[in-house]
Amino acid sequence: MAPVNRPRSVRDRNESAWLLPKDGRRCDPALVEGMRRFADDDVVDLVVVGCGAGGGVLTQRLARRGWRVVCLDAGPFWDPDRDWVSDEKGSHHIYWTDPRVIGGSDPVPLGSNNSGRGVGGGTVHYAGYTPRFHPSDFNTRTADGVGQDWPISYGDLRPYYEAMEEELPVAGQSWPWGDPHRYPQSPHPVGPNGQIVMRGAEQLGIDVRVGPVAIVNGGFGHRPHCIYRGFCLQGCKVNAKASTLVTHVPDALARGAEIRPDSMVTRIELDDAGRAAGVVYIREGVERFQRAAAVAVAGYAIETPRLLLNSATKRFPDGLCNNEDLVGRYVMVQGAPQVTGRFEEEVRMYKAPPPEVSSEQFYETDPTKDYARGFSIQTVSPLPITHAEHVAAEGHWGSVLREYMRDYVHWSTIGVLCELLPLPDNRVTLADEKDRFGLPVAHFDYSQCDNDRKLIEASEKVAVSILEAAGAQETLSIQRYAHLVGGARMGATPSEGVVDSNLRSFAVPNLYITDGSVLPTQGSANPALTIMALAARAADHLAASR
């Protein structure tokens, strides 16, 4: 599907960057306070659950087309000046930290690394790294014998990738991997952390590039240049880093959408004909029901399956849209080990965008290896508390840990992202435990397969070799995960997926899912840009079918 009459000018299709204040404030209270308000009894054209990467884009796109849209988010409407601080410990309120149960042989810790809460969702605290998926990501089953083929091709998403890169905007060098392309803004200056990795990579013949990051380089609308303050993962207080809070929500409000914060959706209701009639939600302790002609769920890879499972009916006794037992299955994370190295010179790795330089040289399947698919490499810049976790992971505590931390400014860090495979038993179910709303919490089981373990081991060795080639005196490693996706994947048929190629559920014709849970595979790329592109494409489908 080609984009529906996409204006050539960014401002003509998304005025968000020009709707932000010019007086130094980071949001316009008048825009929020003056937004259109709908009553619960109004049958709006669309109610969206979650205002992150997918929900924020979908809301903006359809509001601009004249749809009456209400977007509900469980968290607050953030004001960067009021709510965000340059402090790791003081930023935990921006993460989704409600209780969840984890299990499996390789359980995944949940919270700050992979879940956001509030308007902007996870884009508030992601690193801003926005690579595209590769063409090969869309047919891994056919080409490599693993994973699952998508019901769309890379070519179907290319124009939406381009649109999102312009609207965020993305800065970086020309990209040689996957589908080679350029970025709208030039790359950011490279700090010492990036220079070290570039030096080590050059010694090993590994090709690296600067970017791509959705962080303003030189100004964009009323958004300023990045000031390299180092707190990208704690909410960007200057609005240089893109989040849907600043890149899509302002335009959505100006076009008549309502963003309703502090509204926890607990259930999707169906009418007698089996169509979605709206959503039940709790706000200020009161249960309410928002009527709608259509529903789009964008709660991400844990909360979206949980909401569907908690919306069971007589027709769907095992959970809404779960007649094929696919809801909650095939949840994926990327293996994301990090390696940090100590250097004689001061590095101060936080003084730049966290992903300064990166490489996708190892992204594709290498037939000479004993594992399928691959990994990407990028610089990361853990702040002191996170760096202390690296040191402690190697068994250093007490006075030894304090000595390592006194040396913090001398360390440089590389992160890798490994494409771990979708497996049916890596899934979200409902636990016996209840949350503060009386709802069963999510139970997430995760276990690696042999291919996953081999891939993680190989990627970590490459990261260590780069730092050693650059002159590291010592290296430390930590095993971790990143980027939850899957759980309501798209497929060509109901037996393959919960939603179709346009993100419409097979089981309920006016129910859409527009977040990372629809991804059949995850590649070795951060998923935010792909989620946004998919949501924009779904908006075109909805607009064309109205």
The answer to whether 230 and 383 have CB atoms below 8 angstroms apart is: yes
Cβ burial of 167 (10 Å; 0-12, 13-18, 19+) is buried
| Maximum C-alpha span of the chain | 70
Cβ burial of 242 (10 Å; 0-12, 13-18, 19+) is buried
Q: What is the mean pLDDT of residues 162-170?
A: 98
Has residue 110 got a pLDDT over 90?
Answer: no
For the stretch 234-262, pLDDT in tens is 889 899 999 999 999 999 999 999 999 99
Has residue 390 got a pLDDT over 80?
Answer: yes
Has residue 319 got a pLDDT over 90?
Answer: yes
Which range, of 84-98, 239-253, 443-457, averages the lowest pLDDT?
84-98
Query: Alpha-carbon distance 278 to 295, whole Å?
Result: 7
For the stretch 4-52, pLDDT in tens is 566 778 999 999 999 999 888 888 999 999 999 999 999 999 999 999 9
CATH, range 10-545: 3.50.50.60
pLDDT given for residue 88 in this prediction: 87
Q: Strand 295-297 and strand 46-49: pairing?
A: parallel
Has residue 87 got a pLDDT over 90?
Answer: no
pLDDT category at 1 given cuts 50, 70, 90 is low
Has residue 542 got a pLDDT over 80?
Answer: yes
Listed in sequence order, the DSSP H helices in 205-348 are: 244-247, 249-254, 300-309
Query: Alpha-carbon distance 99 to 32, whole Å?
Result: 30
Has residue 80 got a pLDDT over 80?
Answer: yes
For the stretch 483-516, pLDDT in tens is 999 999 999 999 999 999 999 999 999 999 999 9
- Match 């027709």 to its residue by tokens: 315
Has residue 282 got a pLDDT over 70?
Answer: yes
Q: In one letter, which amino acid is 527? A: P
Q: What is the mean pLDDT of residues 160-168?
A: 98
pLDDT given for residue 26 in this prediction: 86
pLDDT given for residue 137 in this prediction: 98
Q: Which two tokens stand for residue 452?
A: 């996953």
pLDDT category at 3 given cuts 50, 70, 90 is low
Which range, of 139-148, 226-235, 256-265, 409-418, averages the lowest pLDDT?
226-235
- Whether omega before 305 lies within 30 degrees of 0, making that bond cis, reads no
Q: In one letter, which amino acid is 101? A: V
The answer to whether 153 and 138 have CB atoms below 8 angstroms apart is: yes
Residue by residue, DSSP assigns 73-91 as -SS----HHHH--S-SGGG
For the stretch 177-214, pLDDT in tens is 999 999 999 999 999 999 999 999 999 999 999 989 99
Percent of the chain with pLDDT over 90: 88
Query: Alpha-carbon distance 72 to 50, whole Å?
Result: 6
pLDDT given for residue 317 in this prediction: 97
pLDDT given for residue 219 in this prediction: 86
Cβ burial of 82 (10 Å; 0-12, 13-18, 19+) is exposed
Neighbour tally for 176: CB within 10 Å: 12
pLDDT given for residue 115 in this prediction: 74
pLDDT given for residue 6 in this prediction: 65
Q: Is residue 440 classed as helix, strand or coil in its secondary structure?
A: strand
Has residue 229 got a pLDDT over 90?
Answer: no
| Percent helix / strand / coil, the chain, rounded to 5 | 30, 20, 50
pTM of the model as a whole: 0.97
Cβ-Cβ contacts under 8 Å for 143 (sequence gap 6 or more): 136, 365
The answer to whether 77 and 118 have CB atoms below 8 angstroms apart is: yes
Q: What is the mean pLDDT of residues 410-438?
A: 97
CA angle 130, 365, 363 (to 5 degrees): 20
